[in-house]
Structures are given as structure tokens and as C-alpha cells.
Amino acid sequence: MSTPFAHVLQRVYETTGFAPRGSASQKSARCPAHDDGRASLSIGIGRDSRVILSCKAGCDNKAVIEALGIDWAALYPPELQGQSTQRRDPDEWIPCLDKGHRKTAEYRYTDEQGAVLYGVTRCDRKCFAQWRPDSTKRYGRRWGLRDAQGNKVRLVPYRLPEVVAAVRDERVVWICEGEKDVEALRARPLITATTSQGGAGMGWPEDFAQYFPGADVVIVADRDAQGREHATNIVNNLMPVARSITVVQAATGKDASDHFAAGGNTGNFVTAWEPKPFPGAAR
């Protein structure tokens, strides 16, 4: 009888036309969920014989499963296929699941080429958990930002490839406090937005200045003391390198999400501070 591992490998070959390569228990293959020329998909065998999938380019397991034309049960040996859907879906597991919490969002941080470095999950009780890809783990993730040797992952601005492109093309980059607000801004036409992992609570890393040479930046400060302090730290970091910096706040509510929920748009944020005006702007 074919094992789940062998079945998945066969489906990958049939779907992509390229045979997975590697050891008897760990293979690299072209991911069927995106145009993959780098063999981004890791396929391994977990401790209980289930198949562990991890796409280094950022595709979630649900997309990979759908592209392969199989269901979650196909990743499991027959004796485990009676488990609940919740337990069979690795993308839904979060550290606070046992408390009855439910995952509501996941944000992936990538390098300049789009390879996933780490991610952040959010639950319906506003718990945030960090993870990094690790194909040796049960769900293809190591929870936390350090590897087995204790080395911390490289931290980058959220949606880094978009930030790099915007700075290169001389388009404004919006910086806000938290991924939810970034996505609220990105839902608007032609907006590039970013944040730092953990927002004000984790701070703005000093080395992030390297990504903003000559950039025009709008910082959306949360309307509280912590938000003002966080915005000030970003300003101090980017002053030597950015071309222009403006700090704004929501016209209604605390943050960008509140602003848009109240009917606001990108043109009617309230300017709170302009520490580095755009060169040549009318005064």
C-alpha cells in the first residue's frame, strides 16, 4: 500500500512535471501553488508518519493541497485520518488553540526575493504568536523567532519586496503600527505600507533604516502615548536617510483601521508632525 509520503510525492510529480529530490524522508520539489523555478517546497515525514509541507516562497499549505488536488486527510496515515478537521489542518493550529481561541489572520515576513523568514498569527482573542519555517517540526514551523541553536531570525519590514519597489520607484511608503493596519492601507489603490513585527511593543529595529534611502515616508501614529513614542523612534531612525517624513493620525479612532472604518480615506488623516518636509513643497 502506498504511504501518504509516496502519494504526495507522486501527486507533486504529476502536477509539476518535476520529480522531487532528496533523502528517503525529506524531499525538495517545485511548489504547484506558484510558478516555482527554485524547488521551494519542502516535503518531509513527521513523527507520526504524517506528511509535513512547507513552501519557502510563502504559499500556505491550503493552497498547496488544493493545487495537488488532494485533501488534508491524504497527508495522514489511515489510523489518523479520523481526526477532526481542526487537528488535520496544520495552518489552523496556534499555541492558544487549546484555550478555545481561533486563528483569524496570519502575516508572513519575507526577504527581498519573497522567501518566508518568519510569520505572525493572530487569534480572535488578540493573541499574537511568532513562528519560523522548520521542516523538522510537526507542522513545519518552529514557534518563536529562534532556531534550534538559539539564533534569532533576520528581522525585516513587513512586505519588504513591496517596500523595496516603492522606494526604488519614488512612491510613498506608509508605516503604521501593526499588520492589520498595513492591510487596511493596502486595500486602498496604489498604497504601499509596512510595519515592524510586534509594532510599538517590539520597537523599530535600527537596521531598518537601510531599506529607506531617499524614501518619502508617511508614519501613521496610534493616538496614544505609546503610539507617539513609537512614531518618534521611527522618525529618529529614518531622519538621516529618508527624503521626507510626515507623521499623521486617524481623524476618528485610534489607528488606521479605525480611520477607514469610520469612512476616512488616505487624504484626510490628520497631520500631527512634519519633521522632514518634502523638498520643494509649498510652505
How far apart (Å, rounded) are the C-alpha atoms in residues 115 and 130? 16
Q: What is the spatial order of strands in the sheet that 192-194 belongs to?
A: 192-194, 173-175, 216-220, 244-249, 270-276
How far apart (Å, rounded) are the C-alpha atoms in residues 59 and 108? 10
Burial class of residue 24 in the structure, from the number of CB atoms within 10 Å of its CB (0-12 exposed, 13-18 middle, 19+ buried): exposed
pLDDT tens digit sequence for 217-274: 999 999 999 999 999 999 999 999 999 999 999 999 999 999 999 999 999 999 999 9
Residues 149 and 136: beta-carbon distance below 8 Å: no
Residues 43 and 20: beta-carbon distance below 8 Å: yes
Whole-number Cα distances in Å, 166 to 111, 116, 197: 15, 20, 20
Q: Which parts of the chain register pLDDT below 50?
A: 84-88
Question: Is residue 167 within a helix (H) or strand (E), and if so which, with residue range?
Answer: helix 160-168
How far apart (Å, rounded) are the C-alpha atoms in residues 243 and 55? 37
pTM (global) more than 0.85: no
pLDDT at 213: 98
pLDDT at 26: 86
How far apart (Å, rounded) are the C-alpha atoms in residues 220 and 270? 9
pLDDT at 47: 63
